[in-house]
Structure 1
Amino acid sequence: MARLGQLEAAVMERLWSWDRPVAVREVLEDMQRERQIAYTTVMTVLDNLHRKGMVLREKTGRAYVYRPTRSRATHAAELMEQVLASTSDRGTALLRFVEHLSPGEVSDLRAVLNTMPDQAPEER
């Protein structure tokens, strides 16, 4: 999975937060509150995200509407897995990551880990 560019990430944040199919025009109008951007630019970004498998599109009337193929949490988890796959010492990388978590996040992590069944390393 490729990392998202700045505009792609801005578009995806909107799609994730709206949690419904949206047209290019709606994304454009929201983005124009923050910056000048052309309709064709937003359309191209959504087309690229579709090509990358990040969004689904379906024809509604004469226009397409777009929605994410995965949740924000799933996307973040896939990125984290990609980073872990790039190191030969996953344990140390995980330890360094956990050291940066807040006490509340560590508590949340412990709670999740306590609900998971034990897995052998080859089952990952």
Structure 2
Amino acid sequence: MVNEDDRGRRPAGMLEDAVLAVLWEGARPMSPADVQAVLPGGPAYTTVMTTLARLARKGLASRERAGRGFVYSAAVDEAGHTAAAMNELLRRRRDRAAVLARFVSELEPEDEELLQRLLRDGGEA
């Protein structure tokens, strides 16, 4: 899998995912500098600021004023975000039954058992 293009840039969405992961791990709201310090690959401060602002506009991060700047925290949890992405992918497919059948057929046995239990128990984990 290629992680960067010929100019050394990450594919679209990859930095947003990395920033969200940092926010999910954060015990408190984080400044752009806090996030930048944790991210691998050393993206520019302005890139981190832009990414955080974009996540806030999308409703994936919340921001609050702190001094002259902002601090950010995740507005959605990781499980909810991942489930929404999976549902969006499924909605865009013509043959949802085939996609779901393939998904289930490729699950690890313990994940298949968990899915069966969740379906039986109405989604309660």
TM-score, structure 2 as length reference = 0.81
Which of the numbers 18, 21, 27 marks the counterpart of 2:26? 18
Report the Cα offset of residue 92 of structure 1: 1.9
CA distance in 2, matches of 1:47, 1:83: 24
Larger helix fraction of residues: 1
Number of aligned positions between the proteins = 112
Deviation at 1:97, TM superposition (A): 0.5
CA distance in 1, matches of 2:97, 2:48: 40
Q: Is 1:64 paired with 2:66?
A: no
Measured against aligned partners, the alpha-carbon deviations of 1:83-123 in whole angstroms (never above 9, x if no partner) come to 11112332221111111110010111111111118xxxxxx
Quote the RMSD (CA, aligned, Å).
1.7
Whichever residue aligns with residue 109 of structure 1, its letter is L
Q: Residue by residue, what CA displacement relative to the aligned partner does 1:59-85 show, whole Å, maximum 9, x if unpaired?
A: 122221111111111111111111111
Q: Distance in 2 between matches of 1:91 and 1:28?
A: 42
1:90 aligned partner, one-letter code: R
Q: For the residues of structure 1 that align with 2:13 and 2:29, how far apart are their CA atoms? A: 21
Runs ≥4 residues deviating over 3 A: none
Aligned AA (1:60): A
Match of 1:30 in 2: 38
- Supply the distance in 1 between the matched residues of 2:36 and 2:13 (Cα, whole angstroms): 17
Aligned to 2:87: 81
Q: Residue 53 in 1 paired to residue 63 in 2? A: no
Separation in 2, partners of 1:49, 1:80: 18
Q: Counterpart in 1 of 2:100?
A: 94
What TM-score, normalized by structure 1, do the two folds share?
Answer: 0.81
